Amino acid sequence: MSAVIIDGRAVAAAVREEVGARARELTESGIRPGLGVVLCGENPASQIYVRNKGKAAEELGLRVDQQTPPGDSSTADIVSVVQRMNDDDGIDGILVQLPLPSQIDPDAVLDVLRPDKDADGLHPLNMGLLAQGAKPPVVACTPAGCMEMLRRYDVPLRGSRAVVVGRSALVGRPMAMLLVNADCTVTMCHSRTVDLPAACREADILIAAIGRAGMITADYVKPGACVVDVGTSRVDGKLRGDVDRESVEPVAGWLTPVPGGVGPMTIAMLMHNTVALCAARRGAGVPASPR
Ligand code: GUN
């Protein structure tokens, strides 16, 4: 057996196509969706992510307002950049690229973000709605992208056992909540989990969001499981996931590759969120989301 490789680039292209159609509809009615981007400092990985996000937004005809405050900015400086975007009616989604430099309190920044402009779904209100099992207007882009791939490849969710490795606010926590809301039985694992391979081998769906290149080997994978690789480590200049593809591919039922899996989906879901927020806030008649 060899895993079905989930083509994140193809799924992302399909999502972007749907989002593009709604963006055109809005623009033709005089409402051009706008994305505000805050990139503080000069983290090279963040610069690449933000460049790709800006490019995708421009390809869909969105207005992009990118602010690049210096790396020695204070929390108050970043808060005031976000507040200006909050007050700009032409900005529908605001993305504050993480991580922020260590002197800045990310929670203080996320708190001031208008929840109805929260392109990343990271505001406490939107995270709280997700935790309650309600449908928030937006969901964090990477976990939302993972769910979209699972759905489009008909990976069975209801009643399945899902294991999420990693408990970050950006990925692990919202991912676990989305899987619970989709009727999976979910276990969250992290750096203190005892016998991680045994816990992972219980998974029908294994989400690897650890940040350690190649850590998930075949030893962690139940035969036939769906393995979603969220890792993005640079090793010798190359992008590597958390999954050791060579050993896992013959065992798994489905596998998202790195590159070409979760990465393109994160960007596609940011576009989806921005256009959905635009439609919800000021797009009379245009549906916020087809889902
Ligand atoms: N840093 C890495 N991934 C992301 C993301 O999806 N959103 C934000 N805001 N920062 C990130």
Does residue 65 have an active-site annotation? no
Does residue 120 have an active-site annotation? yes
Does residue 97 have an active-site annotation? yes
Determine whether the shortest distance from the Cβ of 209 to ligand 1 is under 6 A: no
Would you identify the CATH topology of the domain 141-263?
A: Rossmann fold (3.40.50)
Show the CA angle centred on residue 289, arms to residues 142 and 122, nearest 5°: 35
Examine domains 29-122 and 141-263 and report if their fold is the same.
Answer: yes
Annotated domain spans of the chain: 29-122, 141-263
Say what the pTM is: 0.96
- Using the atom order of ligand 1, give the atom closest to the CA of residue 266: 6
Binding positions for NADP(+): 166-168, 232
Give the list of residues 6+ apart from residue 194 with CB closer than 8 angstroms, or none: none
* Ranges in the chain, pLDDT < 70: 290-291
CA–CA separation, 209 and 231 (whole Å): 6
The pLDDT tens digits of the residues spanning 237-277 come to 999 999 999 999 999 999 999 999 999 999 999 999 999 99
β-bridge mates for residue 95, sequence order: 37
CA nearest to 95, candidates 27, 37, 15, 33: 37
Ligand 1 centroid from CA 79, angstroms: 17
Structural domain 29-122, CATH architecture: 3-Layer(aba) Sandwich (3.40)
Ligand 1 centroid from CA 223, angstroms: 32
The pLDDT tens digits of the residues spanning 155-193 come to 999 999 999 999 999 999 999 999 999 999 999 999 999
